[in-house]
Structure 1
Amino acid sequence: MKSVFRPCIDLHDGQVKQIVGGTLSADSTSLKTNFVASHPPQYYAELYKKHNLTGGHVIMLGRGNEEAAKLALAGWDHGLQIGGGINDQNASTWLDAGASKIIVTSYLFPDGAFSLDRLQNLSSLVGKDRLVVDVSCRRVRQSWFVAMDKWQRITEMEITKESLHLLSQYCSEFLIHAADVEGLCQGIDEKLVQKLGEWVTIPTTYAGGARDLETVDRLSNGKVDLTYGSSLDIFGGTLVKFDDLVTYNASVLAQEV
């Protein structure tokens, strides 16, 4: 087992952007943006489809991104996951719109408290195999706690082996943004990646500060995949080349066949 690259399309105000995750807020007055795409969302979806980069996700960062998200999903029908404001009322609609899976966070934490009932109900509604739980987090001293509402609100759920085991009974994947390093291009949260490698038992994708896929592979023993954002050349970055990741993923796939 080896870690692989998983692509993303982050949407803000209807555009593909790369944002410093910790600066997202309700009023956007402190928002720091690293990149705004000149291409429409479907351009990236079609690019990922062309190179068979499976397991990618579209994230709607706030309101006003629904039409852009639909364009992205249309670019690769049932090839991308969708997250951002997903709940029991709209989950099936997004699957019907072409999402391969739905990604959920805030809906599971009414008033910041985890609701097992909501997770069970959503899992029953869409099916465990089409549900991804986003356990994006922020550091609290030496621990990590799930963060919601654009990663600004800390929930009561600590990320541990036990909590991940509980969640994994009702979903097929985890997505985890390390919000404290998201968009900074200064390196991953190595301790978190190492712990995820020890704890997770289902496919897991990490995002936040990524510059080096090999480090994630080593620290997680190949159990955690990686999303690149601001460091990637297709998003204006200079540290990582998209073509190199395509080659890497193809080589891993060839070895597994």
Structure 2
Amino acid sequence: MTQFRPCIDLHQGQVKQIVGGSLNDSGAETNFVSTHDAAYYAELYKTHQLLGGHVIALGPGNQEQALKALAAWPGGLQFGGGVNNRNAEMFLQAGASHVIVTSYLFADGQFSWEKLEAIKQVTGVDRLILDLSCRRTESGWQIATDRWQTITDTVVNAETLTELASHCAEFLIHAADVEGLQGGIDEALVKLLGDACPIPVTYAGGARSLDDLKLVDQLSGGKVDLTIGSALDIFGGSGVTLDQCIQWNKR
């Protein structure tokens, strides 16, 4: 059954919810800036045993907050954002259950199997999550790196998902074109993930209500989990409450 997965998104040292497609070197279109630090949300998720959540650092200046979140719930949160084979061990030792990688695995838009093997030597398969966040193109969906601004040559399809599945524990996939817009999920992408992913996968992007948890469950046959960000009441949203998501997971 589809589960709700929590998130802590960090931008410029604060917990924020942004419009994913707007993120660049100058900043981002922001939906919400929290008065709480990252540890507050980590402790909240720990209290309610909301498992499999992720802390994502969107650009520089976020390490202090990330480490606070990981320390608040050791083993309870995944971490991504600038992770590579040199710093992955540090984040795991700091309390991350898994590390999440995207941009490190690419050079000039090309996927590097050599880099994948290098980070696997540090994390093993069981503590590595591949972030295949993507944008729509004429080819379908292509992985986007560098804060979703650089579209790579790697297409998110059944072949890619099957090929990469044996190299990691999970996939995390943001639909960057709808991320933060609260305009509904990318239904076709969710269905593809449900049909093609042989390992656990979390989708994020566009969720706006409890009905989206039901829709993802239906479209994916319960195989895809869902992250809800900007629509959630704890992030200033009015579409769905954290308590509703907690109750959904207890079904």
> With structure 1 as the length reference, what TM-score do the two structures score?
0.95
Cα distance in structure 2, aligned partners of 1:150 and 1:33: 15
Equivalence for 1:220: 220
How far residue 142 of structure 1 moved from its aligned partner, in angstroms, is 5.3
8 Å contact from structure 2 (residues 120, 128) kept in 1: yes
The answer to whether structure 1 residue 130 and structure 2 residue 132 are counterparts is no
The answer to whether structure 1 residue 99 and structure 2 residue 92 are counterparts is no
User: 5 Å matches for 1:68-217?
Assistant: 68-141=65-138, 143-211=140-208, 212-217=212-217
Amino acid at match of 1:162: E
Gaps of 5+ in 2: none
Equivalence for 2:249: 249
How far residue 181 of structure 1 moved from its aligned partner, in angstroms, is 0.1
Cα distance in structure 2, aligned partners of 1:160 and 1:48: 32
Q: CA RMSD in A?
A: 0.7
Cα distance in structure 1, aligned partners of 2:187 and 2:121: 34
Cα distance in structure 2, aligned partners of 1:160 and 1:173: 16
8 Å contact from structure 2 (residues 181, 206) kept in 1: yes
Question: In structure 2, the residue corresponding to 1:133 is in which secondary structure?
Answer: strand
Cα distance in structure 1, aligned partners of 2:88 and 2:240: 34
Equivalence for 1:18: 17
Amino acid at match of 2:21: G
> With structure 2 as the length reference, what TM-score do the two structures score?
0.97
Amino acid at match of 2:187: E
Equivalence for 2:8: 9
Amino acid at match of 2:244: D
Cα distance in structure 1, aligned partners of 2:147 and 2:103: 9
Q: Per-residue CA shift, 1:126-185, capped at 9, x if unaligned?
A: 110000000000000250000000100000100111111111111000000000000000
Gaps of 5+ in 1: 252-257
Amino acid at match of 2:95: G
How far residue 248 of structure 1 moved from its aligned partner, in angstroms, is 1.0
Cα distance in structure 1, aligned partners of 2:234 and 2:38: 12
8 Å contact from structure 2 (residues 139, 155) kept in 1: no
Structure 1 segments (4+ residues) deviating >2 Å: none
Amino acid at match of 1:56: G
Amino acid at match of 1:3: T
How far residue 113 of structure 1 moved from its aligned partner, in angstroms, is 0.4
